[in-house]
Amino acid sequence: MSAAFRRPLFAGNWKMHKTVAEARVLVRAIVARGPCPGADLVVCPPFTALAAVGEELRGSEIALGAQNMHEAPCGPFTGEISAAMLCELGVRYVILGHSERREYFNETDAAVARKVRAALDAGLVPIVAVGETAAEHAAGAAVAKVTAQTLAAFSAASAQEIGRCVVAYEPIWAIGTGNVDTPSGADAVIGAIRACVPGLGEARILYGGSMNADNARALMAEPNIDGGLIGGRSLDGDSFVACVLASEHESR
């Protein structure tokens, strides 16, 4: 499928930021900026703010996303959240396999695959994050690293299911550093991701890692980049929507 048929998607990952009161203020600012007719928007607040943000999004075209979930439907997993719990709150998307989860919480490729399967079974859309370290990038191992992660993540999903998923390529060395990858470099890696698993030709693949209003247009001009998974810039309503609006100037 050509890029012209993949509607852009921008997801804001708020990480461990915003109390419930602060989350309401932020999401109201995003909603107030009006709809972005050329793209789908998702906001992913902390678990504690999901219900409140869901209330604020009611009646808007912006979707609610979560930052993680457990693979099991229920059980003795203190501090965890199941897919059913997310669905009950109106969550439609869930970020899985973010590099911070992999690094700080020892999340493995196998665990990500189990979460992808659980998310699909619950009707959620997984946003599967993959990325390489600075050392791996310098060694020319980016494609090998991210395609291995992608293959593992979707090992229990069919091509038809994969086509409904989202992948986010986030070079770890670019997350929160201001060191964005070049548009052509990011597109080359994303092209390799798209080609490594049947079904990803239909899926939306995002770029993450210091995307902002200044570089979004150039990134979105590339044929394989379908949007962004945005961290720091999503914590300000104007900055988040500015990324989307900047990209809309680029014909897909």
Among the residue ranges 2-11, 46-55, 139-148, the one predicted with the least confidence is 2-11
Chain segment 102-130, per-residue pLDDT in tens: 999 999 999 999 999 999 999 999 999 99
* Average pLDDT taken over every residue of the chain: 94
pLDDT for residue 32 = 94
pLDDT for residue 250 = 55
Chain segment 215-236, per-residue pLDDT in tens: 999 999 999 999 999 999 999 9
To the query of whether residue 170 is one of the catalytic residues in this protein, the response is yes
pLDDT for residue 249 = 55
pLDDT for residue 1 = 43
Please, what sign has the CA dihedral across residues 215, 209, 138, 141? negative
pTM of this prediction exceeds 0.75: yes
Catalytic residue among 56, 70, 71, 98: 98
Mean pLDDT of 25-47: 93
In this model, does residue 92 exceed pLDDT 70? yes
Burial letters 77-114, b for 16+ CB under 10 A, else e: eeeebbbebbbebebebbbbbbbbbbeeeebebebbbb
Band of pLDDT at residue 252, cut at 50, 70 and 90: very low
Cα 79–Cα 166–Cα 32 angle in degrees, nearest 5? 80
Structure tokens given for 184: 């052509």
CB neighbour class for 35 (10 Å; exposed up to 12, middle 13-18, buried from 19)? exposed
Among the residue ranges 22-26, 87-91, 246-250, the one predicted with the least confidence is 246-250
Residue 10, classed as helix, strand or coil, is: strand
Catalytic residue among 71, 132, 170, 222: 170
In this model, does residue 156 exceed pLDDT 50? yes
pLDDT for residue 5 = 75
pLDDT for residue 175 = 86
pLDDT for residue 2 = 46
Mean pLDDT of 24-38: 91
In this model, does residue 78 exceed pLDDT 70? yes
In this model, does residue 101 exceed pLDDT 80? yes
In this model, does residue 4 exceed pLDDT 80? no
Band of pLDDT at residue 209, cut at 50, 70 and 90: confident
Residue 209 burial (CB count, 10 A): 25
The residue type at 33: R
